[in-house]
């Protein structure tokens, strides 16, 4: 099973095609309290990164020190500007469909050779990620189990089905499903955060794909359980992104959302995600917003 060819041979949008007008209106109907919550982790030079990625850097182009050194301030006007350099997979970010593949093809059969160091991702890049406004479903395992999950705890299809049943939720095409494991709450960017995370297993990925979800996210480093099961490497990435075109929303902060939904007796909400159209990139930072 896959979504290859489902929206045409040239499609690079993937499962975000499922966020149609009906999904948008269904999401909007959930905004009944007027409460707005950011789901993003902080990003900047002090934010943690895994060993293979570059840490964010900030360069001040103009600051108070320039004026102390004698820079002109016409009529007393002063300003500050800075340049920030960070990897596209830093902090809370959305993976583009060019981020992971197996064999020689990206999602939908696009050649992997279209992703090169000289040109970036010419197919399925971050500029192909469209804005998302849809129903969000929080699978709150912290609330269900009374605390954060232990390291390397797999979250399977049965766990997802139970969460839907307990919340009285029927799967809906175009949903965005977010998984709260408590991993960020427990480790908050420490070196341990990037190792041995609890998360989705391969069976859970199949369960989500079969229900036509548009987007999947979690409060951990890579959405899926680490390490991967023997004989596999990042199987959730390959099932959701490569086979079904479902982008992954990584490094979320879901504590405030979980507490707010528990207080309101809800499990669903309006989710808004506006990706940066970074031409040729394999992902990009985002500030997802939940509206209750």
Residues of the chain with pLDDT under 50: none
Based on DSSP, count helices (H) and strands (E) in the chain, helices before strands: 8, 15
Q: Which domains does the chain have, with CATH numbers?
A: 14-43+89-291 (3.50.30.50), 44-85 (no CATH)
Helix extents (H) in 110-178: 141-145, 157-166
Contact (CB, 8 A) for 126 and 277: yes
- Say which residues have a Cβ less than 8 Å from residue 74's Cβ, sequence separation at least 6: none
Query: How many residues make up the chain in this entry?
Result: 292
Task: Say what the pLDDT of residue 49 is.
Answer: 82
Give whole-number Cα distances, 74 to 61, 68, 78, 82, in Å: 18, 14, 8, 20
Contact (CB, 8 A) for 212 and 1: no
Residue whose structure tokens are 């998984």: 179
Task: Say what the pLDDT of residue 235 is.
Answer: 98
Residues 69, 142: Cα–Cα separation, whole Å = 53
Taking the CA atoms of residue 139, residue 145, residue 151 and residue 153 in that order, the dihedral angle to the nearest 10 degrees is -60
What are the pLDDT digits (tens) for 131-178? Answer: 999 999 999 999 999 999 999 999 999 999 999 999 999 999 999 999
Residues 203, 31: Cα–Cα separation, whole Å = 32
Task: Say what the pLDDT of residue 43 is.
Answer: 86
End-to-end CA distance of the chain: 35
| Helix-helix angle 202-210:157-166, to 10 degrees | 50
Contact (CB, 8 A) for 195 and 226: yes
Would you state the structure tokens that stand for residue 125, as one six-digit string?
């890049």
Residue whose structure tokens are 């004026």: 67
Task: Say what the pLDDT of residue 270 is.
Answer: 98
Task: Say what the pLDDT of residue 153 is.
Answer: 97
Task: Say what the pLDDT of residue 224 is.
Answer: 98
Residue 251, CB-side half-sphere exposure with 13 Å CA sphere = 27
């Amino acid at each position: 099973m896959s979504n290859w060819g489902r929206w045409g041979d040239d499609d690079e949008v993937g499962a975000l095609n499922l966020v149609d007008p009906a999904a948008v209106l269904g999401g909007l109907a959930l905004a009944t309290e007027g409460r707005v919550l950011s789901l993003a982790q902080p990003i900047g030079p002090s934010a943690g990164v895994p060993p293979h990625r570059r840490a964010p850097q900030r360069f001040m182009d103009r600051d108070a020190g320039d004026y102390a050194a004698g820079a002109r301030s016409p009529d007393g006007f002063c300003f500050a500007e800075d340049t920030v350099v960070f990897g596209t997979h830093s902090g809370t970010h959305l993976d583009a469909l060019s981020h992971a593949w197996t064999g020689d093809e990206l999602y939908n059969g696009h050649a992997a050779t279209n992703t090169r160091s000289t040109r970036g991702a010419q197919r399925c890049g971050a500029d192909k990620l469209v804005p998302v406004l849809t129903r969000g479903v929080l699978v709150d395992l912290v609330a269900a189990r009374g605390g954060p999950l232990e390291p390397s705890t797999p979250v399977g299809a049965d766990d997802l089905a139970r969460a839907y049943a307990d919340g009285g939720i029927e799967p809906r095409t175009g949903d965005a499903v977010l998984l709260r494991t408590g991993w960020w709450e427990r480790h908050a960017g420490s070196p341990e955060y990037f190792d041995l995370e609890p998360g989705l297993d391969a069976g859970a990925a199949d369960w989500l794909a079969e229900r036509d979800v548009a987007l999947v996210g979690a409060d951990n480093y890579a959405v899926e359980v680490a390490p991967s099961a023997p004989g596999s490497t990042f199987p959730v990435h390959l099932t959701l992104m490569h086979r079904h075109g479902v982008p992954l929303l990584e490094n979320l902060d879901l504590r405030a959302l979980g507490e707010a939904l528990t207080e309101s007796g809800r499990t669903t909400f309006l989710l808004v995600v506006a990706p940066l159209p970074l031409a040729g990139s394999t992902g990009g930072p985002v500030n997802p917003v939940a509206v209750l």
